[in-house]
Structure 1
Amino acid sequence: MTDAISFFTAKLSHETDPSDVYAAQKRADPFVLVDVRGDAAWAQGHVVGAVHMPYAEIATRAPHEIPAGTEVVVYCWSPGCNAGAKGALEFARLGYPVREMIGGYEYWVREGQPAVNASGPLPRTFDPLVMVVHQDAV
């Protein structure tokens, strides 16, 4: 039992999910949301309020763009992408408190959270395979 408690406590201290990130944004919690995908992915669409910093650039850019000690949440494409873990590792190496948003951009969009691209807001759709869809949400 102790092993399970330790495991899940550690897991939850290093991960978050799109619903919790959206709730934190709405509460104006102090953190920086970082999209660690490449330029083409960012241009296609990204989370409203995110900062674009591909994981390969974190070591050189983060110390100049994100104040030390700032809580950081990173995301990539989806559960099938490990760029989020690579980005989280880079922030951790720099000493930032960091968590990975599991599900990435895919689950952010599937849950109907706000996303944008250079043309403006993207349509919000609510996928009943990943969430309960309430009538007032559609």
Structure 2
Amino acid sequence: MTDTLAYFATPNDSTAYLKMKLAYYIDAWDLAEATNTGDSDYIVLDVRSAQQYAKGHIPGAINFPHREMNETTLNALDSSRYYVTYCDGIGCNGSTKGALHLAQAGLRVKELIGGLDFWRRDNHPIVQGSQPQAWPLHAGQANCGC
């Protein structure tokens, strides 16, 4: 057995780690499914600039640039809700910065894995403009196979 394969976590350690990982991240498929079914326990925050948001964003996402997050602006958020942050994709850490600001403010938050890049890759709908807009009624949903 190679050195790489010699190091396996115990099943209990793996279970704890994987549960913790799912507590921090959500993927595009799960977010699309929850959004499409009208799950209202969470709020999706697009943490990019207003200009980038207007060019295309996840239906229902609210624009709240991470650079504008501070004690005053974060106090306006509802602490009883859950939040999902996203930015452009894996080459951008804006969603991490936004999630950090929310967590430091005492809010429950997850990051969208792969951001808008993975959302688009999975063919989920995108809306344009400066308003969140609703999920498009004609939007079909492909099965990711997960």
Normalization by structure 2: what TM-score?
Answer: 0.77
Q: Which letter maps to 2:59?
A: V
Using the alignment, how far apart are the partners of 2:36 and 2:128 within structure 1? 20
Percentage of identical aligned residues: 33
Please give the root-mean-square deviation of Cα atoms over the aligned residues, in Å: 2.4
Task: Could you tell me which runs of 5 or more consecutive residues in structure 2 were left unpaired when the two chains were aligned.
Answer: 1-9
**Deviation digits for residues 89-126 of structure 1, max 9, x if unmatched?**
100011111000011011111111111112998xx8x9
**Deviation digits for residues 6-36 of structure 1, max 9, x if unmatched?**
2211111010011101111122221100000
Using the alignment, how far apart are the partners of 1:48 and 1:106 within structure 2? 15
Q: Which letter maps to 2:51?
A: A
Using the alignment, how far apart are the partners of 2:112 and 2:80 within structure 1? 19
Task: Could you tell me which runs of 5 or more consecutive residues in structure 1 were left unpaired when the two chains were aligned.
Answer: 133-138
SS of aligned partner of 2:69: helix
- Bigger helix share: 1
Using the alignment, how far apart are the partners of 2:62 and 2:74 within structure 1? 11
1:1-138 aligned within 5 A: 1=10, 2-29=12-39, 30-59=41-70, 60-64=72-76, 66-118=77-129, 131=144
SS of aligned partner of 1:72: strand
Higher relative contact order (CA 8 A, sep 6+): 2
When structure 1 is superposed on structure 2, of 71-80 and 26-35 the one drifting more is 26-35
Using the alignment, how far apart are the partners of 1:68 and 1:34 within structure 2? 14
Q: Which letter maps to 2:126?
A: A
SS of aligned partner of 1:84: helix
Q: Which letter maps to 2:121?
A: R
Q: Does the CA contact (< 8 Å) of 1:69 and 1:95 recur in 2?
A: no
Structure number with larger C-alpha Rg:
2
Q: Does the CA contact (< 8 Å) of 2:53 and 2:129 recur in 1?
A: no
Using the alignment, how far apart are the partners of 2:69 and 2:38 within structure 1? 24
